[in-house]
């Protein structure tokens, strides 16, 4: 009776597949036993112990390319290498945890793309009388704004919080939402824009709603992408935005041009 076990038995004992054992042989991590008299390769205790060590290190996250060196290293080198692997695994764990958090936030679509502070403001808007379509449009604009002007987005949300605490601003904004259904040449648009601009000029903090998303670079391009997102330039909405910008410029407020 031959000593040792077959490759299939060795793989089963160690907890890997035969293909994995052969891969270890190919990488030189475990020497392939000589064939016995019957032509079979038999794995003895030394080979099995080596297989266990390789499998344990691989399962711990040690790259296969580094395992051979570790198995032949002295205790100090072995410990240092394992500490380095641990640091790498810690980083990977943190990355995976962040990815998991994003997946959890995807269950609540807004929270995957916007910070909790922005979501809270969006949730507040229906209670102020803003219609669902306007809240949805605001959400889209904020997602775009956060991507294009990330360095100013948190400050911008502070300006929005201030504006939503101002009943006059909210009333004018709601009137502006209604105006989007008017004809572009409706004379009420000019009156509304004048009232809105005068109110904002009286409270400089409110001006940040318009100017707060001006990027520190590529200002005009980024501003237009955010301010005119989804904007049909021939519509009342387009005229409203253009008139507000024009009147603010006339009052000396810096607003990127349409160039």
* CATH code of the domain covering residue 85: 1.10.1660.10
Question: Of the residues 80, 106, 132, which one is the last residue of a structural domain?
Answer: 106
Pairwise CA distance, residues 43 & 60, whole Å = 24
Tokens of 155: 């400050």
Per residue of the chain (259 residues), give pLDDT as tens: 457 888 999 999 989 999 999 999 999 999 888 888 788 888 988 899 899 989 988 888 888 988 888 888 888 888 888 888 888 888 888 888 877 766 665 555 566 678 889 989 999 999 999 888 888 888 888 888 888 878 888 888 999 999 999 999 999 989 988 888 888 888 898 899 899 889 988 888 888 777 766 544 444 444 444 444 445 444 667 777 788 888 888 888 777 554 4
Q: CB-based contacts of 249: which residues, under 8 Å, 6+ apart?
A: 255
**182 and 147 within one domain:** yes
**43 and 140 within one domain:** no
SS3 category, 13: helix
Does residue 234 belong to any structural domain of this protein?
A: yes
**101 and 150 within one domain:** no
**157 and 92 within one domain:** no
Domain count for the chain, please give it: 2
**54 and 36 within one domain:** yes
Q: Rg of the Cα trace of the chain?
A: 33
Does residue 2 belong to any structural domain of this protein?
A: no
**98 and 145 within one domain:** no
Query: Rounded to an integer, what is the distance from CA 38 to the centroid of its chain?
Result: 60
Could you tell me the CA-to-CA distances from 124 to 112, 131, 164, 205 in Å, in that order? 18, 12, 9, 20
**217 and 94 within one domain:** no
**46 and 133 within one domain:** no
Does residue 39 belong to any structural domain of this protein?
A: yes
**20 and 121 within one domain:** no
Pairwise CA distance, residues 161 & 158, whole Å = 5
Question: Of the residues 106, 131, 161, which one is the last residue of a structural domain?
Answer: 106
**90 and 184 within one domain:** no
Helix or strand holding residue 82 (H, E): helix 75-106
Does residue 259 belong to any structural domain of this protein?
A: no
pTM, two decimal places: 0.51
**155 and 236 within one domain:** yes
Please give the angle made by the CA atoms of 136, 142 and 143, to the nearest 5 degrees: 90
Does residue 102 belong to any structural domain of this protein?
A: yes
Domain region containing 55: 7-106
Does residue 53 belong to any structural domain of this protein?
A: yes
Question: Of the residues 106, 121, 154, which one is the last residue of a structural domain?
Answer: 106
């Amino acid at each position: 009776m031959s000593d040792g076990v077959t490759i299939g038995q060795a793989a089963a004992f160690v907890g890997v597949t035969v293909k994995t054992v052969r891969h270890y042989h190919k990488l030189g991590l475990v020497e392939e036993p000589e064939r016995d008299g019957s032509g079979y390769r038999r794995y003895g205790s030394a080979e099995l112990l080596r297989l266990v060590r390789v499998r344990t290190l691989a399962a711990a996250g040690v790259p296969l390319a580094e395992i051979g060196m570790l198995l032949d290293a002295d205790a100090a080198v072995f410990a240092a290498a394992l500490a380095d692997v641990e640091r790498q695994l810690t980083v990977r764990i943190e990355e995976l945890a962040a990815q998991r958090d994003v997946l959890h936030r995807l269950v609540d679509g807004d929270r995957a793309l916007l910070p909790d502070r922005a979501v809270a403001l969006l949730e507040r808007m229906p209670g102020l009388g803003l219609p669902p379509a306007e809240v949805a449009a605001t959400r889209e604009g904020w997602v775009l704004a956060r991507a294009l002007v990330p360095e100013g987005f948190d400050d911008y949300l502070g300006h929005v919080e201030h504006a939503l605490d101002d009943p006059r601003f909210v009333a004018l904004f709601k009137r502006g939402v209604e105006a989007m259904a008017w004809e572009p040449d409706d004379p009420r648009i000019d009156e509304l824009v004048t009232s809105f601009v005068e109110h904002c000029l009286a409270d400089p903090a409110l001006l940040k709603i318009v100017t707060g998303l001006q990027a520190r670079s590529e200002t005009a391009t980024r501003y237009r992408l955010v301010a005119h997102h989804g904007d049909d330039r021939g519509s009342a909405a387009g005229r409203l935005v253009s008139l507000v910008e024009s009147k603010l410029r006339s009052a000396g407020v810096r607003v990127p041009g349409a160039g």
